[in-house]
A and B are shown apart, each in its own frame.
Chain A
Amino acid sequence: MKVFKLFLKLLYAYRSTILPHVIIFLGIFVALNLGGTAETGQVSLYNPKIAVFDHDDSPLSRHLKDYLLERNTEVEVEEDATVIEDAIFEDWLNYAIVIPEGFEDSFGKSGNYADLITFANYDDGLNQVMDTQIEFYLSVWDSFRIAYGGSVPASEAESTLKQVDEIMRTEVEGVELVSENGSQSVEVANFFSFLNYILLAVGIAAIGRGIAVIDKSHLRRRDLVSGYPESKRTWGLFMAVFVVMLALWLLLTFVLFLLVGFSALSEPNILWMVVSNLTHALAVSAFIMLLMQIFPSENASSFLGTLISLSTAFATGIFVPREIVWQPLQTAFSLMATYWDVSNQLILSSTVSLSTDLGGVMRNIGIMLLMGLLFFSITLILRRVREKEAA
């Protein structure tokens, strides 16, 4: 118990390292979830943020503008090319359209293209959605214009536009497959993925630092001289590491369920997320102990804590969507338990049939357990080798 207590005292002294990470983490999570989530079962369609500048103010331009604003979210932005491009880059605007004066008059009289100026991101899909909306609206109008022999009579313009609006309001129904996937799954999965980063960062930087201090040769010698056996010392240290990591995990998981509601625990996929993440916490504890055996220095803990946690977060898809991460890097980082837990969180957050996906989830949990055991065994072997060398 002596080493166990000493370790906890040390960590209390390192609270200034632990607290900022935990606060940042909670801040990220709360901020990311401010937007809310769609109800389960309904297809969650993207709602592009757009700006429409209508200089024509003709019946056609007014109807087109109303149609676009009805289907998308209007964003207030200054009509300046640089400001619009900045807004698109910063992602608070997806698309802008400028309807110049004389647009309706020139429509169908000056070639195959409409006189419009559009601003969009690179080929990100959303611009294709917006292009389709505009092009279809104008195509339908063009069909009527052609049917009228080249131009819609002024007396018929309003009724024709109403007809175009009605046609354009035609929708198709889309549903998401729903069975065992609750509405909070994505939220919980995001939280657990970010929690993995925090456990790695805080674990290596603070807990790893504690291990490095406790394992300093003068402290070790003092304990041994006082008759405290090395094996007891080792197990006390291991127990302390696991207990602290579990306490940290429990605390943050408790905060998660305070935020999303404890009722989420009644959903089977969320329970599996908890099991997977807990297994990850144990595997990471073993990894930290191994790392500190290989690099037994306080300074290494800060350096490695930042480098390993950031790298893992990028490579396993915590900070960026996994589909854009280079595949060989993902393969390399599959040597970290985090990779397998993030995989599980992704699977479980979009599962349609838990019974179908459970095999993969359990396999990933098994891999994490084996990794934890392997790290733990190597740590024991290394400690034994060092003991013998010291003796």
Chain B
Amino acid sequence: MIEERNKETLARAIAALPEQSAPNSIWASIDADLLELEQFDQITTAAKNLPTRFAPAGAWQNITADLDNPLSAKIRSLLSRSNRRWVAAAAFILLTAGWLIQEFTFTPDLPVTVYQEGEDASLLVSDWDTQEELIAEVISLYRARLASGQLHSDREWLAELLELNEARDELKHAMDRLGRDAQMIHQLASIERERASILKKMAQQI
């Protein structure tokens, strides 16, 4: 046993312990809690006393019919009062969707015309080759005039034109062999401009 001496001293002191005073505000909180709970009770009581509805007279016949024919029961279940709105809504959506698909997918028969463009061989020839025959004719005429003494000046134009022709031929050969690049095309264009300038002067002389 636990040994205690002068236990009555402790008992006297405990009996004399002061009592605490409960704050006055607590009753208001208890009152509010009780009021709220009583209101819940009233709702619960009212919910228990809600009126009873009587089953429709024909319900039992429908039940026995469903028990005898499960398939018709399923169909009736689908078309039950609570489902009717949804079935009607689903039918409306399906019909509307079908009409919209037909309206925008199926167009009336229209004649289809197909035209195939033919190949034009002249378009495939590089434009710098088109006038070579004319140039050759100008050179021939110019030489003839020089030989006949009808022209007195500028054999140099002819020589320069021939040099430009050779340069042009070499550049074209290099383009065929190595492929075209921007620099070669630029050089070729420059040669062509010079040739055109000389040919213009030679033609004026002729």
Are A and B physically bound partners? no
